[in-house]
Amino acid sequence: MSEKKRLKMRPRSGWAAFLTLIVALALVPFLGPPPYVTHVLILVLLFAYLGTAWNLIGGYGGQLSLGHGAFFGLGAYTSTLLFLNYGLSPWIGMAIAAGVGAGSAALIGYPCFRFGLRGPFFALATLAFGLIVVELLTAFREITGGSLGIFPPYLGNVPHLFQFASKEAYYMIILAMWALIVLLVRAMRRTRYYLVAIREDEEAAAALGVPVRKYKLLAAVISGALSGIGGTFYAQYFSYINPESAAGLALSVEILTVAIFGGMYGLMGPTLGSAVLTPISELLRIWLGGTYLGVHLMIYGLLLILVIVFMPRGILGKLEEVLKRELEF
């Protein structure tokens, strides 16, 4: 006797919601928002983008990386230095930054997976890798400007060199980057299934034919490449980078807090997390100014603890619980 009946299909309305969101966000600049609002929205999208990249290896794959700041920073330095020293357009630099991000992720990821570093030990190794990158970026000051960082010259509105006079242009670029990364991760369905299996039980996954090491490395490399691309965007938008702010542990922590707070088990979790957290930390930055540098990180640390203890699936998971439906699309 068959008990087979139709299982509820995933809600198709998600697609419509996602497209509506993109269109709505694309229309924002035409409403003439004050520059500061545009700035905060750019940061929200940037951290949504970075959180989504992190989530591939950190959330789906369950490998807690504290090294994403390094992949990001190396990307930022790559395109900036190539432009300053060789006049290479940062658009091309961005592609090379992706390669550098991927390469550095492989450099730390491969030995970690090869030697079976899991859980806290993967976190420790990536932490150390991030610290090494910051120290090296500072140490080679003849090239990198040391801890003072680099100010690329402002050239006005030169789109082919990834420089724009208006914030709105940067906004549109990061909006596109965010939309693309969400669609990319969404399209990697088999990879996500495999990564989740690896997160749950590596041996049981291997017994089902999942090449555990290969997929962990794949996720790390893609995640690193996407972070490197994010680094180039950051360098172009801020026209200033230094080792601590572009590659430091603080950045890695911001990225992972956004992802975990939003919900690391879902596609839209990091975006939700960034939408809530980034404006808060920006407001804190204005209110408290430069005197209390670490305040938003202090809050992030506290939030991390609270979220893990009280809602480990983040706000996305909480929403799904309340609405009793999956918010995937």
Partner 1 sequence: MGGIYALMSIGLNLIFGVIKVVNFAHGEFLMLGMYIAYWAFTLYGLDPYVSLPLVAISILALGALTQGLIINPLLKTKEINQVLATIGLMIFLENLALFLWKSDFRSVLTAYSAASISIGEMRISFARLLAFAVAMGTALAFYALLTKTDVGRRIRAVAQDAEAAELMGIDHRRIYIATFGLGGALVGVAAAAMSPIYYAFPTVGALFGPTAFIVVVLGGLGSFIGAMIGGLIIGIVESIAGVLTNAELAKAFAFAIFLLVLFRKPTGLFGERARV
Partner 2 sequence: MTTVLEGRGLSKRFGGLWALRGVDFRLEEGEILGLIGPNGSGKTTLFNVVTGFLKPTEGRVVAFGEDITALPPYKICQRGIARTFQIARPFSDLTVLDNVVIGALLRTGDPEEAVEKAKNILDFVGLYRKARDLGKNLTTIERKHLELAKALSTEPKILLLDEVMAGLKPAEMDAILKTLVRIRDSGVSEIVVEHVMRAIEAICDRVIVLDYGEKIAEGKPREVMANGKVIDAYLGREYRLA
Interacting residues with partner 2 (CB under 8 A): 2-4, 7, 189-190, 193-194, 196-197, 200-201, 203-212, 265
Smallest gap from residue 155 Cβ to partner 1 (A):
31
Q: Can you list the alpha helix ranges (DSSP code H) found in 140-188? A: 141-144, 167-187
- Angstrom distance (rounded) from CA 279 to CA 72: 21
- Is residue 212 at the binding interface for partner 1, with CB under 8 A as the rule? yes
Q: Which of 60, 83, 164, 300 binds partner 1 (CB under 8 A)?
A: 300
Q: Is the dihedral of CA 209, 260, 70, 158 positive or negative?
A: positive
- For residue 280 the two structure tokens come to 């808060």
Contact 204, 197 (CB under 8 A): yes
Please spell the DSSP secondary structure of 188-208, one letter per residue.
-HHHHHHHHHHHH-HHHHHHT
Q: Which of 186, 213, 285, 318 binds partner 1 (CB under 8 A)?
A: 213
**CA distance readout (Å), 242 to 46, 100, 104, 138, 289:** 18, 18, 18, 8, 19
36 binds, among partner 1, partner 2, none (CB under 5 to 8 A by kind): none
- Is residue 96 at the binding interface for partner 1, with CB under 8 A as the rule? no
Q: Is the Cβ of residue 7 or residue 24 nearer to partner 2 in the bound state?
A: 7
Q: Is the Cβ of residue 2 or residue 85 nearer to partner 2 in the bound state?
A: 2
- Angstrom distance (rounded) from CA 87 to CA 231: 18
For partner 1 (CB under 8 A), the number of binding residues is: 49
Task: For tokens 């404006």, name the residue.
Answer: 279
- Is residue 95 at the binding interface for partner 1, with CB under 8 A as the rule? no
Q: Is the Cβ of residue 169 or residue 196 nearer to partner 2 in the bound state?
A: 196
Residue 158, classed as helix, strand or coil, is strand
* Span 170-209, contacts to partner 1 by CB under 8 A: 199, 202-203, 205-206
193 binds, among partner 2, partner 1, none (CB under 5 to 8 A by kind): partner 2
- Is residue 136 at the binding interface for partner 1, with CB under 8 A as the rule? yes
End-to-end CA distance of the chain: 33
Smallest gap from residue 129 Cβ to partner 2 (A):
26
Angle at 74 between CA 88 and CA 159, to 5 degrees: 35
What does the binding site for partner 1 look like in residue numbers (CB under 8 A)?
Answer: 62, 64, 66, 111-112, 115-117, 119-121, 123-125, 127-129, 131-132, 135-136, 138-139, 199, 202-203, 205-206, 212-213, 249, 253, 256, 260, 292-295, 297-298, 300-305, 308-309, 312
